Amino acid sequence: MYSKLKDSLPFLADRSATLSIGETLRMLADEFPGAVCFSSSFSWEDQVITHEILSAGLPITIFTLDTGRLFPETYSVWSSTNERYQTRIRPYYPNHDLLEPFVTEKGPNAFYESVQNRKDCCFIRKVEPLKRALAGNSIWITGLRAEHSPARQDLSLFEWDEGNRLVKYNPLLHWTTDQVKQYISKHDVPYNSLHDKGFVSIGCAPCTRAVRPGEDFRAGRWWWEDASKKECGLHVHEAHALEQVQK
Ligand code: SF4
């Protein structure tokens, strides 16, 4: 429909300005049939978006990246979500041709030993599977919020993702934590029980801890590293691309 997908950004921003999130998701599904996807980590932000998609029966593909190192609670909410919405969320797994040599050579917990090991692990378990999951799509919906980190505060609702050659839509970008909680409660949406135990941003079990009162949202992720580098390469904003791990 668009000579260049990137050209659709002004149109999408204009159209969505007067639409609700649910209406915007429907508009995207209509404009880009079969080419709209949503990556869920089962965070409460992602559960809001999942509810919007599945309760309206929208033809948007929902997938998750199963790194093999997730919390048991994350698998529980994945199961609850399948059951609640009578759906089957598709997992993407790491390529064993990459993962097996890496773990053989470096060991199972190499991410604690160096930043490079951590970046390599994130690349193998997340970034490469994400590339496969996004292939053929035009729109990638995410649960990013500006509150999550300084690197996310200059994002837009619609963004061009040069690395993946598609448009990203961040519908909850300007939502507060309270708004997210209220939505989850109001609609009785299944959510990760770790959120009730001080976990704000939930990733892999060995690399995520609860956040103490007053700590930054991302303090619980890769807490042993420099705070300014806490992205895993899934979301590479152009302005920060050189700082990120994507290869
Ligand atoms: Fe590996 Fe930790 Fe990254 Fe998960 S978050 S992919 S375990 S380094």
Distance from C-alpha of 115 to C-alpha of 40, rounded to nearest angstrom: 25
Residues contacting 35, CB < 8 A, separation 6+: 136, 137, 138, 139
Q: Which neighbouring-strand residues pair with 160?
A: 167
Residues contacting 114, CB < 8 A, separation 6+: none
Q: Is 232 known to be catalytic? A: yes
Over residues 211-228, the mean pLDDT reads: 79
Output b/e per residue, 140-178; b: 16+ Cβ within 10 A: bbbbbbbbbbebbeebebbbbbebbebbbbbbbbebeee
Q: Which of 46-60, 73-87, 139-153 has the lowest mean pLDDT?
A: 139-153
171 lines ligand 1 (CB under 6 A): no
pLDDT of 76 over the 50 cut: yes
State the closest ligand 1 atom to the C-alpha of 118, by its place in the atom list counted from 1.
8
Write down the pLDDT at residue 205: 96
Q: Which pair of structure tokens corresponds to residue 49? A: 């978006």
Q: Give the range with max mean pLDDT: 1-5, 128-132, 146-150, 233-237.
A: 128-132
C-alpha of residue 48 to centroid of ligand 1, in Å: 24
Angle 9-16/21-31 helices, nearest 10 degrees? 140
User: Which conformational region is residue 68 in: left (phi greater than 0), alpha (psi within -120 to 50 degrees), or beta?
Assistant: left
- ∠ CA(86), CA(88), CA(94), 5° rounding? 160
Question: What pTM was computed for the model?
Answer: 0.90
pLDDT tens figures, 116-157: 999 999 999 999 999 999 999 999 999 999 988 777 788 899
Write down the pLDDT at residue 89: 98
User: Which conformational region is residue 107 in: left (phi greater than 0), alpha (psi within -120 to 50 degrees), or beta?
Assistant: left
C-alpha of residue 117 to centroid of ligand 1, in Å: 9
Over residues 170-183, the mean pLDDT reads: 96
First to last CA, the chain: 30
pLDDT of 3 over the 60 cut: no
Residue 105 CA to its chain's centroid (Å): 29
pLDDT of 242 over the 50 cut: no
Q: Are 91 and 63 in contact (CB under 8 A)?
A: yes
C-alpha of residue 102 to centroid of ligand 1, in Å: 13
Write down the pLDDT at residue 49: 98
